[in-house]
Amino acid sequence: MEFDLVIAGGTVVDAQQSRRADVGVREGKIACVAPELSGRRVIDASGKLVLPGGIDSHCHVEQLSSAGQMCADDFYSASVAAALGGTTTIMPFAAQHRGDSITAVVDDYFARAATKAVVDYAFHLIVSDPTPQALQTELPLMAARGISSFKVYMTYELLRLSDEQMLEVLLAADREGALLMVHAENHDIIKWITRRLLERGHTSPRFHASSHHPIAESEATHRVISLSRLLDVPALIVHVSGIEAVNTIRDAQHLGARVFAETCPQYLFLSATDADRPGLEGAKWCCSPPPRDAQSHEAVWAGLKDGTLQLFSSDHAPYRFDESGKLPRGQATTFKEMANGVPGLQVRMPLLFSEGVRKGRISVNEFVALTSTNHARMYGLAHRKGSMDVGCDADILVWDADRQVTLSASMMKDNAGYTPYEGRQISGWPERVLLRGELIVEGDRLLAQRGSGEFIACGTPAPVARPVQRAPDGPAGVFRKLIGA
Ligand code: URP
Ligand code: ZN
Ligand code: ZN
């Protein structure tokens, strides 16, 4: 039986196992994984790893910040950067700002992505204005449109929700079979430290990390977990950075809380001291939560290894080092005013492979789980993405584990204009990238056409199979009956 395409002679890796096999592709799907297949086209993968395409479930693309700054990437530049770094599905945010109609926001994101993306995409929804109309009428429409994850913020003046609002959004997520993602930092702690720092003339970028104190993160993390436990509704804490937050999440999971968590390259490979540079240069290393220190790096590695943290995403939030992003008031910009975020879509997988797999911290199967499979399961994409299973989209990487690369801004395809990893030497890079069976990257060359990426509708998030896990007669169930929730 001849296949449209065979990827021959490589080591096929998924989240469970690694095996020497060929991969047969038919009509854009994985049709067979077995030795000695024959195809009309053959890609020689001998000596290479053959992996499912990466899924980056946290990136900001064509998104307006609450301060009105447009991030530097549109769906073309972001998706090209993703493709060149081995990511074949991205999940950016359709961001509701206060007063916005959710339907109008989502329509706008669909229109922006459709003509530009070169990789496949799905959306999360940011909810910043949970009015009764939004909760009762608009959120129920989202699942029908394939959006089954909502992000809420506990900080940022114009985005943050009160605990009461978070409880309402948790209930709405539960009703709609959606997963709540939370940016967990204590707003008042950050605001109070920021005011005192600025009063003392501490305005430069390095003070951003002082203001976003790790205790602001761990307190908010504990609070989200409490809200989630109160209602027995799952929550996913995004961009976990600090040792105390990791430990808080692990403890809660041991107690049976249905809490999941994500971390990002900046919490393994960057430090608060990176922002300590002359002038405003350090703004390039500022994101929220901020990069921490060696002790937190080790805690994050341990959390990835023992399953406390299930997802490794980029939180790609690209802003240029000029008045459009990092320096809205030019040289007078204080750390409070600069846009928060670092670019990372293109380097997410190579960095984790080099520092994790090559250095023996995680197995190559754990690498696949953390960069692809777990994202598909967590957000309801596993019917098409994130594995080498027969029937899944043939989103496949031929990965050269030995290619040596020195990271530099000149090789980055995003529009940030810099990389916080400048000069870093890594081993391992995708040699070929296939999307639904089509070769979209060969070496450093993009072959995909603008707009060839497809929207993928998310189903129900899989790790939160509520009907099975919920105990209606357990303490949370009895309590919810009492309050009519
Ligand atoms: O600094 C960051 N992470 N900016 C992007 C917005 C967010 O909170 O994810
Ligand atoms: Zn966030
Ligand atoms: Zn983010």
Instruction: Indicate which ligand has the atom closest to the C-alpha of 58.
Output: 3
User: Six-digit token pair at 136?
Assistant: 């009762």
CA of 472 from ligand 3 middle (Å) equals 34
Task: Among 262, 315, 319, name the best residue to mutate to test ligand 1's pocket (greatest count of ligand atoms within 8 A of Cβ).
Answer: 315
Residue nearest to atom 9 of ligand 1 (CA): 315
**C-beta separation of 189 from 216 below 8 A:** yes
485 CA to centre of own chain: 31
Average pLDDT on 475-480 reads: 87
pLDDT tens-digit series, residues 201-244: 999 999 999 999 999 999 999 999 999 999 999 999 999 999 99
Average pLDDT on 327-332 reads: 97
Average pLDDT on 101-118 reads: 97
E strand or H helix at 267: helix 266-269
CA of 239 from ligand 2 middle (Å) equals 7
DSSP three-state, residue 347: coil
Instruction: Indicate which ligand has the atom closest to the C-alpha of 92.
Output: 3
Instruction: Indicate which ligand has the atom closest to the C-alpha of 238.
Output: 2
* 299 domain residue, yes or no: yes
CA of 65 from ligand 1 middle (Å) equals 9
* 25 domain residue, yes or no: no
User: Which residues does ligand 1 sit against, CB inside 6 Å?
Assistant: 60, 183, 239, 287-288, 315, 317, 340-341
Q: What confidence category does residue 445 fall into, taking pLDDT thresholds of 50, 70 and 90?
A: very high
CA of 346 from ligand 3 middle (Å) equals 16
Residue 474: the pLDDT is 81
Residue 463: the pLDDT is 67
Whether 324 shows a pLDDT value over 80: the answer reads: yes
Whether 357 shows a pLDDT value over 80: the answer reads: yes
From the CB of residue 137, how many other CB atoms can be counted at a distance below 10 Å? 12
pLDDT tens-digit series, residues 123-178: 999 999 999 999 999 999 998 999 999 999 999 999 999 999 999 999 999 999 99
179 CA to centre of own chain: 14
Q: Which atom of ligand 1 is nearest to the CA of 153?
A: 8
Instruction: List the CATH number of the domain containing 152.
Output: 3.20.20.140
CA of 317 from ligand 1 middle (Å) equals 6
CA of 67 from ligand 1 middle (Å) equals 12
Helix, strand and coil content of the chain, in percent to the nearest 5, comes to: 35, 25, 40
**C-beta separation of 223 from 210 below 8 A:** no
Number of domains in the chain: 1
Cβ neighbors of 427 (< 8 A, separation 6 or more) are 353, 354, 358, 401, 402, 403, 404, 405
Instruction: Check residue 415 and report its DSSP letter.
Output: S
* 215 domain residue, yes or no: yes
CA of 96 from ligand 1 middle (Å) equals 15
Alpha-carbon span 170 to 172, nearest angstrom: 5
Q: Which atom of ligand 1 is nearest to the CA of 288?
A: 1
- Name the CA radius of gyration of the chain, rounded: 22
Q: What confidence category does residue 469 fall into, taking pLDDT thresholds of 50, 70 and 90?
A: low
DSSP annotation string for 461-477: -GGG-HHHH--TTSHHH
* 422 domain residue, yes or no: no
CA of 289 from ligand 1 middle (Å) equals 8
Residue 470: the pLDDT is 60
* 482 domain residue, yes or no: no
Cβ neighbors of 189 (< 8 A, separation 6 or more) are 213, 215, 216, 219
From the CB of residue 278, how many other CB atoms can be counted at a distance below 10 Å? 7
Alpha-carbon span 90 to 78, nearest angstrom: 9
pTM of the model: 0.97
Residue 479: the pLDDT is 87
Average pLDDT on 25-32 reads: 98
* 348 domain residue, yes or no: yes
Task: Among 57, 58, 60, 124, name the best residue to mutate to test ligand 1's pocket (greatest count of ligand atoms within 8 A of Cβ).
Answer: 60
Cβ neighbors of 68 (< 8 A, separation 6 or more) are none
**C-beta separation of 308 from 249 below 8 A:** yes
Residue nearest to atom 2 of ligand 1 (CA): 341
Q: Which atom of ligand 1 is nearest to the CA of 151?
A: 9
Residue 464: the pLDDT is 47
User: Six-digit token pair at 416?
Assistant: 């940030």
Q: Which residue has the tokens 């000069």?
A: 423
Angle between helices 214-231 and 243-254 (to 10 degrees): 20
Q: Which atom of ligand 1 is nearest to the CA of 287?
A: 1
CA of 243 from ligand 3 middle (Å) equals 19
Task: Among 287, 316, 342, name the best residue to mutate to test ligand 1's pocket (greatest count of ligand atoms within 8 A of Cβ).
Answer: 287
Q: Which atom of ligand 1 is nearest to the CA of 60?
A: 5
From the CB of residue 176, how many other CB atoms can be counted at a distance below 10 Å? 19
Q: Where are the beta strands (DSSP E) in 208-276?
A: 235-237, 259-263
**C-beta separation of 257 from 281 below 8 A:** no
Task: Among 340, 342, 345, 348, name the best residue to mutate to test ligand 1's pocket (greatest count of ligand atoms within 8 A of Cβ).
Answer: 340
- By residue range, what is the domain housing residue 219? 53-374
**C-beta separation of 278 from 327 below 8 A:** no
CA of 153 from ligand 2 middle (Å) equals 7
Whether 444 shows a pLDDT value over 90: the answer reads: yes
Alpha-carbon span 427 to 308, nearest angstrom: 26
DSSP annotation string for 203-259: -STTHHHHHS-HHHHHHHHHHHHHHHHHHT--EEE-S--SHHHHHHHHHHHHTT--E
pLDDT tens-digit series, residues 452-467: 999 999 998 886 434 4
Residue 461: the pLDDT is 86
Distance linking the first and last C-alpha atoms of the chain: 56
Average pLDDT on 317-335 reads: 97
CA of 247 from ligand 2 middle (Å) equals 19
Q: Which residue has the tokens 């594995």?
A: 387
Task: Among 288, 319, 335, name the best residue to mutate to test ligand 1's pocket (greatest count of ligand atoms within 8 A of Cβ).
Answer: 288
Q: Which atom of ligand 1 is nearest to the CA of 65?
A: 6
Alpha carbon dihedral 168, 171, 175, 179, in 10-degree steps, equals: 100
Residue 122: the pLDDT is 98
User: Could you tell me which of 459, 437, 439 has the C-alpha nearest to residue 449?
Assistant: 439
Residue 467: the pLDDT is 41
* Mean pLDDT score across all residues of the chain: 96
Indicate the length of the chain as a whole number.
485
Beta bridge partners of 33: 23
Residue 466: the pLDDT is 41
DSSP three-state, residue 250: helix
Q: Where are the beta strands (DSSP E) in 132-285?
A: 149-153, 179-183, 235-237, 259-263
CA distances from 458 to 112, 173, 390 (A): 19, 14, 19
Residue nearest to atom 7 of ligand 1 (CA): 288
Whether 476 shows a pLDDT value over 90: the answer reads: no
Residue 473: the pLDDT is 77
Instruction: Indicate which ligand has the atom closest to the C-alpha of 288.
Output: 1
pLDDT tens-digit series, residues 393-435: 999 999 999 999 999 999 999 999 999 999 999 999 999 999 9
**Phi, psi values for residue 328, rounded to 5°:** -60, -25
CA of 182 from ligand 2 middle (Å) equals 7
* 298 domain residue, yes or no: yes
**Phi, psi values for residue 315, rounded to 5°:** 45, 45
pLDDT tens-digit series, residues 253-296: 999 999 999 999 999 999 999 999 999 999 999 999 999 999 99
* 145 domain residue, yes or no: yes
